[in-house]
Structures are given as C-alpha cells and as structure tokens.
C-alpha cells in the first residue's frame, strides 16, 4: 500500500534531507518547468503531501540508454526517485527479482492499481509478423504494451524509439517498429524523445503531475512544451557566432577552438526542438554543441533518416544557405517557430522523396 500518512517531505526528512535542500529541489523543478516563481509554493505543497505512485518501466526494442539516463538523475537523485518519490515496481534492468518473480511484481501492480499506476516505455514496438521480433516471457511487446499501458493512468515514453519508433524504425524498418502512440489508444501519452531522454525532463514531468494532478501542455507531437517548446538554435550559446557569420570550417581549426557556430559542420539545431542548451546534460556539465559537436536532431521523429548525413549542413533552401551572407541567414532563420516547423516540413519532404517511403517518413511529411 502507498504510504498514506506521510508525503515526500516527511520521507525525505527521515532520510536526512534538510528542508533547505528540499526547497532548493522544488525551486529547480519550478524553473525546469518554466513556471513563474509564484508557483513554487504550489510545487512545495504538492510534493509535501504526495504519496508514491507505482511506476512500471517497460523495455522493448531498446539499448537501455534511457535506463542509464535514469541513473544520472540528480534532482532528485535516482535513489530518492525510486525510494521516496515513486514506487518503481517493475524495471527489468534494476529490479532484484528475475523470471517468474519479476513477472509477479508486474502483475501484482497491474491488478492492484488498475488505472492508477504510471507506465514508462523505453524502446519501440515491432508489429511485423505478429510481433515475434520482441517477446518477453513468451508474450509480444505489442500485447504487453497494450495490456499494461492500456490500463495505466498515463504513459510516458522515454527516448525517440518509444516515442516515434526511433532507430529500429529507420529505413528499411525491418520489424515494422512503431512508437507507443501508434498502438495504444485512450490513455494520456507524454513523449520525451531524445537519444536518450534527458532525465531532468522526466523528473519534471513527474513533479508536474504530482503538483497539479495533470500533465504538462504538449505540442502536436506529444512533447511537453516546457522541454521542447523552443529550438536548440534559439537558445544556443554559439548563436552570436551564427549571426556574425563565424563558422567552424574544419574540426580543430581556429573557429572550432574559439567556440564558433557548427552550422557548416552539420549542426541540426535550427530544425530541432529541445532544451539541451538550457538544462544541458550530466548535472549541467555540457551538451553536444557545448563540447564542439553539432546537434544531430535526436528528439525529432525519424531523425535517423531525415537528419542524416549528420555532418552535411542543412540543405540550402532559400534564405537558409550558408552561401547567402551571414546577415541573410540570420534573418531567415529567426523567422520564428512557425517558420521552423515549415522548414522542418520542407526538409523532411525533400529527403523523403529521395528515399523509399516508409510509414514513419510519411507521418513526418504530414506534420
């Protein structure tokens, strides 16, 4: 049974976490969620009284990269997350029991908390040939995600594979892999794409849910606006160099050593929506552009097909080519979010024509 008596605050106090640290955590979360500071008391209050919702973490066609990302959680830490905030009742990689006993943990929660538990899905779902390309305990991923996910309070997909099919769905998609939204209906689904997802965004989604009893607002791809509402390019620390026409021309050249813009080295920041430049990675230590490598657009649907070759600069659609003067490029790209969506559509459509169409690409074209 959940701990009805005490909320997170009380449990944390038992674990020796000071009120000061707790408030620091709440204010960090308020900031990640892009909420005005006046919301902070609400975050504090909600977390002080929340019980631990059961969470089932399901892995299908995945590389465990999002699980690794979970282990990097710092606000709160993974130990706090799984001991104090949530009840992580099933997670193949980290749970202690195995085999039948592990399946028992899963089914106990599905039966006891029907409609109340949360599900996280990592990895895509293969649908070809009756789903035989991924089975667990003799059941297909397709059956499992529909049954377990279909009875959840909500599903959070972590990583681009669970959100949109990701790398397993890349052309020629040999197993007809899809994302969770394609096969589970009638349950709220929040997508946290990325390769992998940034755990700080997962934590923030859960805190949002515990605070407001509702899921954060999302874009048409199911991504929370607080994390995917602005373009990498608009928040990038190298943007001034882009606007000034200062580009890295070769790896290790003077511009590279001075931290200039990576557009000519293939950066996909102008087509990618994610908060990497703001929250960064590994406790704010760095992020791809910060460490000298362009963005590869990993949080966009079908990025493996539409964003590659990763080192070729974005195609020269009018106003966006580096052949144009830097001023024109800058002006063209700051046309705004709507413009960026259009650009994305154009680029995807152009590339989709050059390759055999598959399901995922058609979807991108429609968007």
Partner 1 sequence: MHAVCSVRAVENALGIEIPLNAVIMRNLIEAAQYIQDHPVHFYHLHALDWVDIVSALSADPAATSDLAQSISDWPKSSTDYFAAVQAKVKAFVETGQLGPFANAYWGHPAYKLPPEANLMAVAHYLEALDWQRDIIRIHAVLGSKNPHLQTYLVGGMALAVDPNSPAVLNIERISLLTKLFTKGLEFVKQVYIPDLLAVASFYKEWASLGTGHGNYLAYGDFPLGVGDPTTHPELLYLPRGIILNKDLSTVHPVDQSKIAEYVTHSWYEYAGGDGTSLHPWEGETRPKYTGPQPPYKFLNTGEGDKYSWLKSPRYEDQPMEVGPLARMLVAYASPDAPGHASVKEKVDAVLAHLDVGPEALFSTLGRTAARGIETWVIAEAALEWLDQLTANLKTGDLRVHSGELWDPSKWPAQAQGFGMTEAPRGALGHWVQIEDGHIKHYQCVVPSTWNAGPRDGNGQRGPYEAALIGTPVADPEQPLEILRTVHSFDPCMACAAHIVDAEGQEIVSIKIQ
Q: Can residue 252 be called a binding residue for partner 1 (CB under 8 A)?
A: yes
Calpha distance 262→81 (Å, rounded): 36
Helices (H), 137-187: 141-144, 150, 160-164
Which residue in 156, 144, 189 sits closest to 86, CA to CA? 156
Beta carbon of residue 66, minimum distance to ligand SF4 (angstroms, whole number): 24
Q: How big is the CA angle at 46 (ends 40 and 47), to the nearest 5 degrees? A: 90
Interface with ligand SF4 includes 276 (CB under 6 A)? no
Q: How many residues form the binding site for ligand SF4 (CB under 6 A)? A: 15
Tokens of 312: 């070729």
x/- letters, 198..237, toward partner 1 (CB under 8 A): ----------------------------------------
Cis peptide before 76 (omega within 30 of 0): yes
Minimum separation from the CB atom of position 364 to partner 1 (A): 22
Stretch 279-308: interaction string toward partner 1, x if CB under 8 A: -xxxx-xxxx-xxxx--x-x----------
What are the start-end ranges of the E strands in the chain? Answer: 54-59, 87-91, 118-122, 125-126, 135-136, 139-140, 154-158, 177-178, 189-192
Residue 143 binds what, of ligand SF4, partner 1, none (CB under 5 to 8 Å, by partner type)? partner 1
Q: Cα separation of 349 and 24, whole Å?
A: 45
Binding mask 217-246 for ligand SF4 (x = CB under 6 A): ---------------xx--x-xx--x----
Question: 44 or 248, CB closer to ligand SF4?
Answer: 248
296 scored as a contact of ligand SF4 (CB under 6 A): no
For residue 325, give both structure tokens: 């003067």
Instruction: For residues 22 and 47, give the distance between their C-alpha atoms in angstroms, rounded to a whole number.
Output: 10
Binding-site partner at residue 150 among partner 1, ligand SF4, none, CB < 5 to 8 Å by type: none
> Of these partners, partner 1, ligand SF4, none, which one is at the site of residue 274 (CB under 5 to 8 Å by kind)?
none
Residues numbered 13-72 forming contacts with partner 1, rule: CB under 8 A:
14-16, 52, 54, 59, 64-65, 68-69, 71-72
35 or 142: CB nearest partner 1: 142
**Residue showing tokens 């002080």:** 48
């Amino acid at each position: 049974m959940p701990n009805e008596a005490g909320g997170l605050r009380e449990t944390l106090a038992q674990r020796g976490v000071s009120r000061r640290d707790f408030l620091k955590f709440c204010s960090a979360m308020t900031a990640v969620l892009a909420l005005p500071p006046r919301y902070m008391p609400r975050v504090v209050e909600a977390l002080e009284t929340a019980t631990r919702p059961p969470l089932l973490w399901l892995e299908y066609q995945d590389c465990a990269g999002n699980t690794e990302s979970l282990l990097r959680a710092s606000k709160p830490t993974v130990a706090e997350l799984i001991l104090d905030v949530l009840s992580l009742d099933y997670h193949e990689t980290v749970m202690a029991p195995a085999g039948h006993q592990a399946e028992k943990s899963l089914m106990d929660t599905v039966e006891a908390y029907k409609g109340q538990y949360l599900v996280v899905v990592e990895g895509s779902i293969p649908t070809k040939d009756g789903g035989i390309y991924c089975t667990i305990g003799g059941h297909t991923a397709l059956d499992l995600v529909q049954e377990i996910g279909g009875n959840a309070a909500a599903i959070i997909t972590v990583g681009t594979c669970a959100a949109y099919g990701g790398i397993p769905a890349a052309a020629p998609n040999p197993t007809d892999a899809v994302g969770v939204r394609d096969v589970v209906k009638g349950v709220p689904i929040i997508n946290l794409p990325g390769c992998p997802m940034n755990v700080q965004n997962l934590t923030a989604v859960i805190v949002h849910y515990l605070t407001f009893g509702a899921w954060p607002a999302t874009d048409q791809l199911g991504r929370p606006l607080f994390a995917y509402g602005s373009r990498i390019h608009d928040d990038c620390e190298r943007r001034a160099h882009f606007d000034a026409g200062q580009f890295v021309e070769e790896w290790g050249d003077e511009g590279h050593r001075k931290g200039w813009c990576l557009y000519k080295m293939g950066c996909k920041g102008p087509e990618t929506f994610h908060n990497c430049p703001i929250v960064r990675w590994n406790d704010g230590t760095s992020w791809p552009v910060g460490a000298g490598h362009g963005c590869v657009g990993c949080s966009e649907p079908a990025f493996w097909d539409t964003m590659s070759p990763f080192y070729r600069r974005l195609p020269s659609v009018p106003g966006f080519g580096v052949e144009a003067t830097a001023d024109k490029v800058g002006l063209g790209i700051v046309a705004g979010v709507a413009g960026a969506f259009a650009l994305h559509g154009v680029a995807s459509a152009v590339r989709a024509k050059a390759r055999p169409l598959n399901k995922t690409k058609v979807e991108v074209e429609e968007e």
